[in-house]
Amino acid sequence: MRLASYSRAVSVSKGGPVATPPVRPRSLWCDRDFRLLWLGETTSTVGANISRVALPLVAVVTVHASTLQVSALTAAAWLPWLVVGLPTGAWVDRLPRRPVMLLCDVASLILLLSVPLAAWFGVLTYGQLLAVAVLTGASSVFFTTAYSVYVPGLVTGEQVREANAKLQGSEAVAQVAGPGLAGLLAQLAGAVSGLVADALSFLVSAVCLLRIQRAEDVQPTARGTGLHQEIAAGLRLVVGDPYLRVLAVFGALTNLTLVGYQSLLVVFLVREVGVGPATVGALLATTSAGGVLGASVAARLARRVGSARALLLSALGTAPFGLLIPLTAPGLRLALVATGGFVVGCGAVTGNVIKDSWRQVYCPRHLLGRVLVSMQVLNYGAIPVGALLAGTLGSTVGLRPALWILTSGLAMAALTLLFSPLRRHRDLPQNRSALVRQSFPAPHETACRFVGGDSSTPTAPSEFGRPPPGPSR
């Protein structure tokens, strides 16, 4: 599939048929419904990145939480993926997605507002913060799953990659801007003000979703099947498919090592390198900016070299740059952490755009939610494990040796993509309809296409969330 699809019209004149120039489909910015979705999700993502800083600040400043308790808040936000992730995929495949997303926005709005209200009345406790982290994390599981299935029903098949690039680009920008806004709000109005801002961002998201006019096309699930059977169908498709299986393992290993080294980075820069908080913020903003570049080049790279080759290049060509990070030292060598983090971030987001777009058209719509969640349970479930592993390594062998181990693991994780059919093809196959019909019969199957293929490739009608753009999806 190409990002821009061209059609050739024929007109009749006295000299016979004359081919008119190719017509480029209108930009997604001309699509009112997509603009509303983009605006709502971008605002909500900025709010989520504010909360990533604001919630720990509230824990430390207001309820005087210990270091372990603050770390537990981060782990609590990801725990729901392991607990309710698999059934969420089956539930979302049964339901219209927009109402699910609206309910999640409203629930998150109420939960986040409860924290500043409790703080203002002097009754805020650590237990409430922990409960809010768990419940908003569960809401994010449902929203992210529903959102991933909703996008391909909102845009045409030719614009899926463009939509994902725009959405992930704004996610990457939000990760740069959100922490800075959180610090500014905390300085001006107190730590809890950041959570108020995040709550209001969910309100904006809900209003934007309500104003979308396009009707949703809900694919029916098979009748007479139980929840466990529907979950098993998604797992079987992931385990049995050579592409999905390898990408799931690759994503888990990448998140284990990527989030692991990121969880040590601030402590390493302050205690080992000896830089101040302002410099730490500037360096982390630079590394996050790599994601903005990755989102902007992903579609063009996939068109130019092929989607399969672009995915390999985004992983194998960028992950080794993480080895620059443990070499960081005062002076000019501070540039090493910025360079390494920038390139790694660029590769991670480039790969996420390509993978998101491909999965959304490769997997049958009636199984998409379950397939995505089956992979995300493994991918996101590796995040708290990676943070725990990093903390253990940092405490036992030291910060710099721990970074060497984790960044080396990140580079080696990319090698798992070589144990897949990716290395033999220019483009990713867009739909495995023949195998799906045999094992997972459902109506409205489409013909086989190839993501990023040339104009002669047969085509047929056709497909993110609140987690930060760094982790693999």
- pLDDT (tens digit, 9 = 90+) per residue, 395-441? 788 889 989 999 999 999 989 888 888 888 888 886 654 344 434 44
DSSP string covering 290-359: HHHHHHHHHHHHHHHH-HHHHHHHHHHTTGGGGGGGGG--SGGGHHHHHHHHHHHHHHHHHHHHHHHHHH
CATH number for the domain that contains residue 380: 1.20.1250.20
- pLDDT (tens digit, 9 = 90+) per residue, 235-255? 787 877 888 888 888 988 998
13 membership: H or E segment, kind and range: strand 10-13
Could you give the CA distance from residue 62 to residue 52 in angstroms, rounded to a whole number? 16
**Stretch among 172-176, 206-210, 360-364 having the lowest mean pLDDT:** 172-176
Could you give the CA distance from residue 301 to residue 196 in angstroms, rounded to a whole number? 39
Asked if residue 11 has pLDDT above 70, the reply is no
Q: Are 283 and 325 in contact (CB under 8 A)?
A: no
Q: What burial class does residue 265 get, using C-beta atoms within 10 Å of its C-beta: 0-12 exposed, 13-18 middle, 19+ buried?
A: buried
User: In the chain, how many domains are there?
Assistant: 1
Does residue 464 or residue 376 have the better pLDDT?
A: 376
The answer to the question of residue 311 being in a domain is yes
Strand-pairing partners, residue 286, are none
The answer to the question of residue 212 being in a domain is yes
Here the tokens at position 446 are 């489409």
Give Cβ neighbours of residue 237 (< 8 Å, ≥ 6 apart).
244, 363, 367, 370, 371, 374, 436, 439, 440
The answer to the question of residue 467 being in a domain is no
- pLDDT (tens digit, 9 = 90+) per residue, 195-227? 888 889 999 999 999 998 887 666 555 555 566
Nearest to 472 by CA among 315, 324, 343: 315
The confidence score (pLDDT) of residue 6 equals 28
Burial state string for 79-93 with b = 16 or more CB within 10 A and e = fewer than 16 = bbbeebbbbbbbbbb
pTM: 0.65
Which of 183-187, 347-351, 451-455 has the highest average model confidence (pLDDT)? Answer: 347-351
The answer to the question of residue 471 being in a domain is no
18 membership: H or E segment, kind and range: strand 16-19
Could you give the CA distance from residue 83 to residue 80 in angstroms, rounded to a whole number? 5
The answer to the question of residue 461 being in a domain is no
Give the structural domain span for 333: 27-216+226-451
The answer to the question of residue 392 being in a domain is yes
Unique residue bearing structure tokens 């888990």? 252
Q: Could you tell me the CA-to-CA distances from 445 to 48, 188, 432, 448 in Å, in that order?
A: 37, 55, 10, 10
The answer to the question of residue 63 being in a domain is yes
Asked if residue 131 has pLDDT above 90, the reply is yes
95 membership: H or E segment, kind and range: none
Give Cβ neighbours of residue 168 (< 8 Å, ≥ 6 apart).
291, 294, 295, 298, 349, 352, 353, 356, 464, 469
Could you give the CA distance from residue 108 to residue 118 in angstroms, rounded to a whole number? 16
Q: Determine the number of helices (DSSP H) and then strands (DSSP E) in the chain.
A: 14, 4
Quick count: other Cβ atoms within 10 Å of Cβ 155? 22
- pLDDT (tens digit, 9 = 90+) per residue, 26-67? 677 777 888 888 888 888 888 887 777 677 778 777 887 775
Q: What burial class does residue 272 get, using C-beta atoms within 10 Å of its C-beta: 0-12 exposed, 13-18 middle, 19+ buried?
A: middle
- Residue 225's region, left for phi above 0, alpha for psi from -120 to 50, else beta, is beta
The confidence score (pLDDT) of residue 426 equals 87
Here the tokens at position 242 are 């050579």
